[in-house]
Structure 1
Amino acid sequence: MNKAKLTELLSIHHPIIMAPMFLVSNTKMVIEGMRSGIAGCIPALNYRTIDELKAAIKELKAAKVEGGSYGFNLIVNKSNIKYKEQLRVLCEEGVDFIITSLGSPEETIREAHKAGIKVFCDVTDLHFAKKVESFGADALIAVNNQAGGHRGNLDPATLIKQLNENTSLPIISAGGVGTKADINQMLTYGAVGVSVGSPFIASIESNVSNEYKQACVDYSAKDIVMTERISGTPCTVINTPYVQKVGTKQPWIERLLNKNKSLKKWVKMFRFYIGMKATEKAATEVTYKTVWVAGPSIEHTKAILPIQSIVQQLIKN
């Protein structure tokens, strides 16, 4: 089956989406990405208010250039109490695409399509991929076991092959890309494009602390570990001395409470809130509690560079 390439889906020059990263992504990064001929995406939750989200959309719309594209990531489950308002604003203001995560995208797809907006859905397995295909998704973001943050369980080749053989949707591979050779490998597996996150953390335009950026330069793939202490769900972080000190497993009391069906939901919400606050503080301030989210593709991060230079490395090296 001949599936539309990412460059065709988003009218961009290079088959790359700058992945949405909590606390990291911002309009400056996406604008520079668009000027470099790629797409950029920002988590809607990076904006505390709906007015701030609306202002960001207007800024990106005004800065859009030929060959670039912009979108927003929506958490579509009940943990995101702003979801309904965020979706309404994205549809009213107009964006090029939406990426959905952590829940059913059925409503998002329906409402976004009314506004002429494409919807790409994060998936980690075939079961969920077939479900979002039935809802009318425009493409799948195949989150593999090399992704940063909340990653999948399957290696890129296996996941892309499964999705290609059993769905009719274009596959955008997420995870394990830090060089042009990595991009070419994902395209060889059958992806139509890639979603790249961690290599853009150490960019001049990102708002995180210089310590976080420098950590992405100083540490490498072997320093990435999985922790349950951020959201309760395994998440990849840099193995700093602080992470080593506190460990990567849930505290015993949380494990015990998670076995109680009536309390499990509230324990997860509490862990998510505490973990996100700790991550936010570590990302933006100098603190000994260094919990820095990143994926193994920081292996190829050798310096803090402008977005346009990072894109050039991805398309030329």
Structure 2
Amino acid sequence: MTTKLTQLLNIKYPIIQAPMFLVSNVAMVTEAMNAGIAGCIPALNYRTFDELRVALKELKANKVDGGSFGFNLIVNKSNIKYKGQLEVICEEGCDFIITSLGSPEETIRQAHAVGIKVFCDVTDLKFAKKVENLGADAAIAVNNEAGGHRGKLSPEDLTGILSKELSIPVISAGGVGCKADIDDMISYGASGVSVGSPFIASLEAGVTEEYKQACVDYGAEDIIMTERISGTPCTVINTPYVQKIGTKSTWIENLLNKNRKLKKWVKMVRFSIGMKATEKAAKKATYKTVWVAGPSIEHTKEILPVKDIITKLTN
């Protein structure tokens, strides 16, 4: 299938293996490239700039024709490593950067100077227009079926609106678990899709077998929203532990959030605490099972190699 996305990234299929905190790694992206799609890793998956640089070098060495790789950057103040991460990525080079949670202006300026394309997460037309005017190469339409931090509009509504109003390609993110879903997104006007949750239950994913098996055992009806990870609503699997701790911010967080001066610090603290809890659940067996996933795990029936998951998505 030839679309604007396949042409932009020189890939066989119009699919990006979405960047997932703690889950995505070099092995997953390498297999994605070998199978003819693009793969992306959150820069925050690497604790140091040196580790990030090593990953970039490995992916460049592993790259094949028909595959593509990129990195995801959190571009707001909550990510104190942002500037250093951007510098390393621009020095080493990759095919694209995906920006999230902030203005992509500086990222676009620096990335374009070294020939790296920039795709920007958006949840509405207003912000999509802003990133288009800043020079983004594509908009990633994060809809209300996405895993993690998701938008408010349905895939059909958001993709349809953006594809009509923007001159840059629109990539639909959320609600894709099988080939029929991809066909639907293309019919809504998307040039491609960003797929995350189906790849959690892959052999190459860097998480526990318990997390992977949860994506097999649970389904779309088990996905709920919680504010207990980052302070912003996020989708997780409704495990007994999530039920125990609840899904709403604490009363003191709600109180402090009303203070403009303190609000950003409260969010930074909540983000830090939540990410540490999520990391523990993803990386080792623990009763504190906070597992991020989206409703597209409904189509996940077994743990498979990345290449087999891509075959299911494309055939």
TM-score (norm 1): 0.98
Structure 2 CA distance, aligned partners of 1:187 and 1:165?
13
In the TM superposition, what whole-angstrom CA distance separates every residue of 1:187-211 from its partner, at most 9, and x where no partner exists? 0000000000000000000110000
Would the aligned equivalents of 2:75 and 2:82 in 1 still touch at CA under 8 Å?
Answer: yes
Percent identity, aligned pairs only, is: 75
Partner residue of 2:294? 295
For residues 131-280 of structure 1, what are the structure 2 equivalents within 5 Å? Answer: 131-280=130-279
Partner residue of 1:55? 54
Tell me the matched-pair count. 314
For residues 57-96 of structure 1, what are the structure 2 equivalents within 5 Å? Answer: 57-96=56-95
In the TM superposition, what whole-angstrom CA distance separates every residue of 1:192-239 from its partner, at most 9, and x where no partner exists? 000000000000001100000000000000000000000000000000
Structure 2 CA distance, aligned partners of 1:278 and 1:313?
32
Structure 1 CA distance, aligned partners of 2:269 and 2:73?
20
Partner residue of 2:36? 37
Structure 2 CA distance, aligned partners of 1:265 and 1:13?
42
Structure 2 CA distance, aligned partners of 1:68 and 1:4?
15
How much has 1:262 moved relative to structure 2?
1.9
Task: Tell me which moved more, 158-167 or 40-49.
Answer: 158-167
Residues 1:4 and 1:214: Cα distance change in structure 2 (over 3 Å) = closer
Structure 1 CA distance, aligned partners of 2:299 and 2:163?
28
For residues 120-131 of structure 1, what are the structure 2 equivalents within 5 Å? Answer: 120-131=119-130
- Identify unmatched segments of 5+ residues in structure 2: none
Would the aligned equivalents of 1:4 and 1:170 in 2 still touch at CA under 8 Å?
Answer: no
Structure 1 CA distance, aligned partners of 2:262 and 2:119?
33
SS in 2 for 1:237: strand
Structure 2 CA distance, aligned partners of 1:24 and 1:52?
16
Partner residue of 1:310? 309
Structure 2 CA distance, aligned partners of 1:262 and 1:69?
42
Structure 2 CA distance, aligned partners of 1:112 and 1:261?
33
The reply on whether 1:9 has 2:21 as its aligned counterpart is: no
Q: Which runs of 4+ in 1 moved over 6 A?
A: none
CA RMSD of aligned residues (A): 0.9
SS in 2 for 1:24: coil
TM-score (norm 2): 0.99
In structure 2, what residue type is equivalent to 1:56? A
Structure 2 CA distance, aligned partners of 1:59 and 1:261?
43
In the TM superposition, what whole-angstrom CA distance separates every residue of 1:28-71 from its partner, at most 9, and x where no partner exists? 00000000000000000000000000000000000000100000
In structure 2, what residue type is equivalent to 1:266? W
SS in 1 for 2:30: helix
In structure 2, what residue type is equivalent to 1:117? I
Would the aligned equivalents of 1:16 and 1:38 in 2 still touch at CA under 8 Å?
Answer: yes
Partner residue of 2:114? 115
- Identify unmatched segments of 5+ residues in structure 1: none
Partner residue of 2:281? 282
SS in 2 for 1:257: helix
SS in 1 for 2:194: strand
In structure 2, what residue type is equivalent to 1:47? Y
SS in 2 for 1:159: helix
In structure 1, what residue type is equivalent to 2:254? R
In the TM superposition, what whole-angstrom CA distance separates every residue of 1:144-198 from its partner, at most 9, and x where no partner exists? 0000000000001111111122211100000000000000000000000000000
How much has 1:116 moved relative to structure 2?
0.5
Structure 1 CA distance, aligned partners of 2:75 and 2:238?
30
In structure 2, what residue type is equivalent to 1:290? T
How much has 1:259 moved relative to structure 2?
1.0
Structure 2 CA distance, aligned partners of 1:205 and 1:49?
22
Would the aligned equivalents of 1:187 and 1:193 in 2 still touch at CA under 8 Å?
Answer: yes
Task: Tell me which moved more, 251-260 or 122-131.
Answer: 251-260
Structure 1 CA distance, aligned partners of 2:162 and 2:259?
35
Task: Tell me which moved more, 257-266 or 99-108.
Answer: 257-266
How much has 1:4 moved relative to structure 2?
5.6
In structure 1, what residue type is equivalent to 2:66? G
How much has 1:260 moved relative to structure 2?
1.5
In structure 2, what residue type is equivalent to 1:297? S
Structure 2 CA distance, aligned partners of 1:261 and 1:106?
25
